[in-house]
Chains A and B, each alone.
Chain A
């Protein structure tokens, strides 16, 4: 049966920061391959003259004047932060050297 390699599934899972059980890896090796085959079918459409559609609306981007508007109060901004440290948002250490 045509399927993705274990490494490919593990790599995609890592990019999405998802941890997979052993049986899930095996399932996705097949499921993801089927999805990709479906996507490949779209590539077969010949009529590709139209410019790429990046948005469902046809108007051009409305630009904003360069003016400073209202900002969040610091305390308000911190309400959804699990851990803070002084004025900073604290997260687990990001650099591993």
Chain B
């Protein structure tokens, strides 16, 4: 069985984050009452004309640039003709001959190192209406009709479920951080269709398309399922037919949808209602220069700031945390401490009360105070935990909050006195340390922390304790 090679190509549709639709001024809003965000253009009334949204061009261009594509500086749109209730015009306006970007790539990490997944093209098109099906009827919501999309088509460059998932994670990260799309698979703003084939020879096998996969991990499940299913059929001596299947997440299997129409049946022709769109070099440059900091650049920066790889991964997975942290890049604060706070105590607080940072009383200035106080040893993490709720909920400065909790900074002299006392009272441990017993220092540390009631900075204590022991 292992002599079969799996080949996967992926088409991703991502909805663009615009205020209005691609060809009409209706709102591009998810989650509104069905059919309340429409106008005559979205509903395909006769005689209406599409006008192209400039933000769509900007976001699609950004996407094409982060996918390392060559840009088509003169583009037009095409009509893709088909009869289906999801599109009352009976054609979808898309880009067939002049996609905004071609010949790009996305680099993914695999077990065998980096791999380039080639992007065949990225093109702009309008979304169709959303349909919900029951056994005897289908229900349509035209709020989605005319929402701007980019469709990103790879070459058949992936050879396993893992590679397909790695590609999708990377693509999602790129689009999310470029502010192109919010990429919420569960809300349908990012949708993945996979073409899977198996073959024993260098020639590709029969291409089976799987649609309706609702999560990146299910893309992996669907590909593995198709791999096994197709091989089982071939081993029985059957021939496969090109077809479209649907992923069923209840049974983790794929179900036949329809025998696929071929491309010619769409009878593409240029959309005569939209003249050529031209992108000047200056415009492309301006868009390129204003792409928000990519996830990869952020990772590099965090790594250079000393943040651990595990934490970097967590930060990148949460764009809000990354954006928040980036606000302080110029403030020269300790980003390791800042990220530990955001991922640790602060995240736990926000989770507990189901809040976001914006609706707490943690101002930027207060955050800087807290990080600096922890950095200098003015407070330690135990004290921070005690004052956390007040920091988040009260309109007071850090000093005032510390005052209210009766926390006063321990002077160095006070600390030295305490250390000296402990050493005097624990001669045995001091001797043990001098005889090379490392555990003795931990015991002494414990005694000191107990005596200072946790008000001392552990780093400073270790430093001073070691100094005195070495005397």
Contact = CB atoms under 8 A, between A and B. Distances in A.
A97 to B, nearest CB: 6
Contact of A63 (B57, B85, B133, B257): B57
B435 interface: no
Nearest to B131: A94
A17 interface: yes
B118 to A, nearest CB: 27
Nearest to A64: B51
B133 A94 contact: yes
A19 interface: no
A87 B36 CA distance: 9
A54 B265 CA distance: 21
A72 B275 contact: no
Interface residues of B, number: 58
B272 interface: yes
B257 to A, nearest CB: 6
Query: Could you say which of A67, A68, A74 has the most chain B C-beta atoms within 10 Å of its C-beta?
Result: A68
Interface string B279-306: 0000000000000000000000000000
A86 B257 contact: no
Contact of A64 (B52, B132, B256): B52
A63 B138 contact: no
A15 B267 contact: yes
Query: Could you say which of A59, A87, A96 has the most chain B C-beta atoms within 10 Å of its C-beta?
Result: A87
Interface in A10-69: 15-17, 52, 54-57, 59-69
A68 B276 contact: no
B27 A66 contact: no
B387 to A, nearest CB: 44
Interface string B417-441: 0000000000000000000000000
B236 to A, nearest CB: 23
A71 interface: yes
Contacts of B276: 54-55, 60-61
B54 A77 contact: no
B20 A74 contact: no
B54 A65 contact: yes
B85 A88 contact: no
Nearest to A74: B36
Given A87-B35, A89-B35, A94-B85, A63 B54 contact: yes
Contacts of B38: 71-72, 77
Interface stretch (B139-147, B192-200, B365-373): B139-147
Interface in A80-97: 85-97
A77 B35 contact: yes
A35 B81 CA distance: 20
A39 to B, nearest CB: 13
A70 interface: yes
A60 B277 contact: yes
Contacts of B220: none
A61 to B, nearest CB: 5
Nearest to A59: B275
Contact of A93 (B27, B56, B136, B277): B136
A95 B53 contact: no
Contact of A66 (B19, B37, B136): B19
A88 B40 contact: no
A91 B19 contact: no
Contacts of A70: 25, 39
Contacts of A67: 19-20, 25
A60 B134 CA distance: 45
Contact of A69 (B18, B25, B133, B141): B25
Contacts of B103: none
Contacts of B86: 94
Q: Which 9 A-B pairs have the closest CB atoms?
A: A69-B25, A66-B55, A54-B270, A88-B139, A63-B54, A87-B34, A89-B140, A94-B138, A64-B51
Interface of B: 18-20, 24-27, 33-40, 43, 51-57, 76, 81-86, 131-142, 246, 255-258, 265, 267, 270-278
Given A65-B54, A72-B43, A95-B138, 9 more contacts: A61-B52, A62-B51, A66-B18, A67-B20, A70-B25, A72-B39, A88-B35, A90-B138, A91-B140
22 contacts: A15-B265, A54-B76, A55-B270, A55-B274, A60-B276, A63-B52, A63-B53, A64-B54, A65-B54, A66-B20, A66-B56, A69-B26, A70-B25, A71-B26, A72-B40, A86-B139, A87-B141, A89-B141, A89-B142, A90-B138, A90-B140, A91-B85
